[in-house]
Amino acid sequence: MDQIYMDHNATTPVKPAVAEAVADVLANVGNPSSVHRHGRLARRLVEDARQQVAALVGADPSQVTFTSGGTEANQLALQGCGRDRVLVSAVEHPSVLVADLGAWLIPVDGDGRLELAALQAKLLESDVPALVSVMLANNETGVIQPVSEAAAIAHDHGALFHCDAVQAAGKIAFDLAALDADLLSISAHKMGGPMGVGALINRPGVKLTALVRGGGQERGLRSGTENVSGIIGFGKAAELALEGRADIANLAAGRDRLEARVREIAPGTRFFGAGAERLPNTSCLTMLGVDSETQVMALDLAGISVSAGSACSSGKVQASHVLEAMGGSGAENAIRVSLGWSSRDDDIDKFLEAWGSLYARKGSGREQAAPAA
């Protein structure tokens, strides 16, 4: 396909070595719970993958529970930890913001950074043991949260701390101990692995109740025959991500070049979260006067795939809760451009050409749309 892919935060292409590892497993038979040789081979492959995934986040393999993805890992953490009082940042992914948990939303500042003082004040209001959940990097803006500071505040108040590291894993270096997280979620398809597999990593001693019960796989925390090929792909992707983090860090140069040029073309553009530390691959930018859906469709026609707000919920035309939580204007005019391991410098030139021409047709002049006095 000629279409340029600039939506790596939605999902990033499966790396060739991952596809090869998955194909190899699919060519063989074996249930990891079977005691015969076929079963033992499948078990060994799953346990090797567990080590690779654990290594990516500095955990012990015994702390890794494989799930069907980041969504299920988040649900297992939030619902399985047994805490009735839940505090989550206002910019979390929808899989954390599930309504029935009745979570209190920790506000963020204009750059999307967590208001630590608000978290502290809220925790002081009650002695009921809480769970605090704060993502490491935001999927829409790439903004990196002060997770270890938030975890320290949570722990000072006897709360458990969960971190959704789905967007951060494979893009920036971190480890469970430094983050001080009790629970951490990650997902394979954001780092070059297959979709439909993820993991919850838990600190020893953190008690969880399973959401999916049955045969007792995954130490009883997630029943169901393991997604062996997916898990093997996840392991390979984690190994490659660990080796290739410098390449992802280098994407910042392309992202910054894109933003600098857009700023020249349209000085009124808002880059959400640009005043905060961000993932190196993400830009969330406005074209004033042109709504997000129109931009996404126009860029699609011009041969470029980007998303409006959160691609996890794309298809739904509604303002992004993340951008709205950051305040100010522009939420309805924002698109997300996210680069990845297969991006080329050339992609950025093509994006700038298409963005510039759309701006000339539809956006130019709207920035000063307020009538003259």
- Tell me which residues touch ligand PLP (CB under 6 A): 69-71, 74, 93, 95, 135, 139, 164, 166-167, 187, 189, 198, 312
Q: How far is the CB of 10 from ligand PLP (least distance, A)?
A: 7
CB atoms near residue 58 (< 10 Å):
14
Q: Which is nearer to ligand PLP, 191 or 298 (CB)?
A: 191
Q: Which is nearer to ligand PLP, 298 or 335 (CB)?
A: 335
Question: How are beta strands 282-286 and 334-338 bridged, if at all?
Answer: antiparallel
Report how far residue 24's alpha carbon sits from residue 26's, in angstroms, rounded to the nearest whole number. Answer: 5
The residue to which tokens 């995934």 are assigned: 53
Q: How far is the CB of 106 from ligand PLP (least distance, A)?
A: 16
Considering the candidates 81, 163, 284, 312, report the single residue annotated as catalytic: 312
Q: How far is the CB of 168 from ligand PLP (least distance, A)?
A: 8
Residue facing ligand PLP at closest CB distance: 70
Task: Judge contact between 108 and 115, C-beta under 8 A.
Answer: yes
Task: Judge contact between 12 and 19, C-beta under 8 A.
Answer: no
Question: What distances in angstroms separate CA 352 from CA 56, 117, 266, 299, 356, one per listed residue?
Answer: 34, 40, 12, 10, 6
Question: What distances in angstroms separate CA 262 from CA 69, 80, 259, 324, 330, one per listed residue?
Answer: 35, 45, 5, 22, 15
Report how far residue 342's alpha carbon sits from residue 12's, in angstroms, rounded to the nearest whole number. Answer: 8
Structure tokens that stand for 215 in this block:
């045969």
Q: Which is nearer to ligand PLP, 201 or 298 (CB)?
A: 201
Q: How far is the CB of 368 from ligand PLP (least distance, A)?
A: 35
Q: Which is nearer to ligand PLP, 73 or 123 (CB)?
A: 73
Can 284 be counted among the known catalytic residues?
Answer: no
Q: How far is the CB of 48 from ligand PLP (least distance, A)?
A: 21
Q: Which is nearer to ligand PLP, 164 or 218 (CB)?
A: 164
Q: Active-site positions?
A: 312
